[in-house]
Homo-oligomer: A and B are copies of this chain.
Amino acid sequence: MPIPFDVLAEPQRRRILDLLLERPRLVGELTAELGLSQPNTSKHLRVLREAGLVRVRQDGQRRRYELRPEPLAELDAWLAHYRHLWSASFDRLERHLDQLKDDPS
């Protein structure tokens, strides 16, 4: 699963992720809160679903969408290659992480 840069490039989809970060929501709730048409909301949800960023739970007649953070973790891994450029204490931080791994106190 590649990093979904293009999926995240869409502002409304990021708004959906922000909303789902608080709690899972129904399609109707998202439609109302985003101010989009229902079909458009469904379309964005489909894109997010195919990118692995959300998953659905059928709840009777309704569908509850919730966050799936794995692709964001991959984005984080990509960012890691650049992180030392702005994080002055990055190397020291990494040593501490290694330390934690060896001795998970």
Contacts and interface: CB of A to CB of B under 8 A. Distances in A.
Interface of A: 5-6, 8-9, 14, 17, 21, 67, 69-70, 72-73, 75-76, 79, 81-83, 85-87, 89, 92-93, 96-97, 100, 104
A79 B14 CA distance: 11
A70 B6 CA distance: 21
Question: What secondary structure prevails in chain A residues at the interface with B?
Answer: helix
A69 B82 contact: yes
Contacts of A67: 82, 85
A85 B72 contact: yes
B86 A82 contact: no
Contacts of A17: 82
